[in-house]
Chain A
Amino acid sequence: GDSVTQMEGPVTLSEEAFLTINCTYTATGYPSLFWYVQYPGEGLQLLLKATKADDKGSNKGFEATYRKETTSFHLEKGSVQVSDSAVYFCALNTRGYSTLTFGKGTMLLVSP
């Protein structure tokens, strides 16, 4: 079945550092790929998405490129802020439906 693998956390960075959170997937067909972010005590917010190979999703300084050849969708940000501290989830839609398969999530902690 479909699956998503994310790097284990927590990822601890200082403010203004470069961020990479790795995400690889296994899926049949042509899934869309997503990054969601969850702040403490809240639900999931869509951060960015890409719907086909070589697409780049971007939002709020975050970027991720849909790499079909390596089945990856790594999240990057050039300069993190304390306010970026949250849990980040990589996901794909599966079996042709909107239903999402999620990775385990990666906690990001940014210190001043």
Chain B
Amino acid sequence: KAGVTQTPRYLIKTRGQQVTLSCSPISGHRSVSWYQQTPGQGLQFLFEYFSETQRNKGNFPGRFSGRQFSNSRSEMNVSTLELGDSALYLCASSSGGTGPANTDTQYFGPGTRLTVL
């Protein structure tokens, strides 16, 4: 079974530009989550999409947005880039289980390394 794929792997942008990152989940997975990884803040949750709907959201400004398509592929967009947006952006997919005793497991892609100059 193919794993989670992310494109592109590397991006260089300048301040003020916008960027779109793509994630294809494991076949059959309906949930896609996005995380930002930086040396200072570690791994921080951005948002989760399930069946084309944003189900959960972290504490990031509105410049960060996403969407999910009917085939579960997801895109993340960052507008008006700032230097602090330089990070590794990780996508994870899972079956999307919920509930108080949730045992769902997330599987991660290789990430997209975004550098903002």
Q: Interface of A with B (CB < 8 Å)?
A: 29-30, 32, 34, 36, 42-46, 49, 51-52, 89, 93, 95-105
Judging by beta carbons under 8 Å apart, are B102 and A42 in contact?
no
- Those of B48-80 within 8 Å (CB) of chain A: 48, 55-56
B84 at the interface (CB under 8 A from A): no
Chain A residue numbers with a CB within 8 Å of B103 are 32, 51
Give the Cβ gap from A52 to chain B, nearest Cβ, in Å: 8
Flag whether B24 is at the interface (Cβ < 8 A).
no
The answer on a CB contact under 8 Å between B105 and A34 is yes
Interface size on B, residues (CB 8 A): 30
> Which residues from chain B contact A46 at a C-beta distance below 8 Å?
105-108
Query: With the chains together, A105 CA to B42 CA distance in Å?
Result: 8
Residue of A nearest to B43 (CB): A102
How far, in Å, is B100 (CB) from chain A's closest CB?
5
- The distance in angstroms between the C-alpha atoms of A97 and B31, with both chains bound, is 10
Q: Closest CB-CB distance, A82 to chain B, in whole Å? A: 22
Q: Which of B99, B106, B111 has the most CB of A within 10 A?
A: B106
- On whether A43 and B98 interact (CB within 8 A), knowing A32-B103, A104-B42, the answer reads no
CA distance A34 to B99 in the complex (A): 17
Q: Is the CB–CB distance between B31 and A98 below 8 Å? A: yes
Given contacts A96-B99, A98-B33, A102-B43, 13 further A-B contacts (CB under 8 A): A42-B110, A43-B4, A43-B109, A43-B111, A89-B43, A93-B104, A96-B98, A97-B56, A97-B98, A97-B104, A98-B104, A101-B45, A102-B42
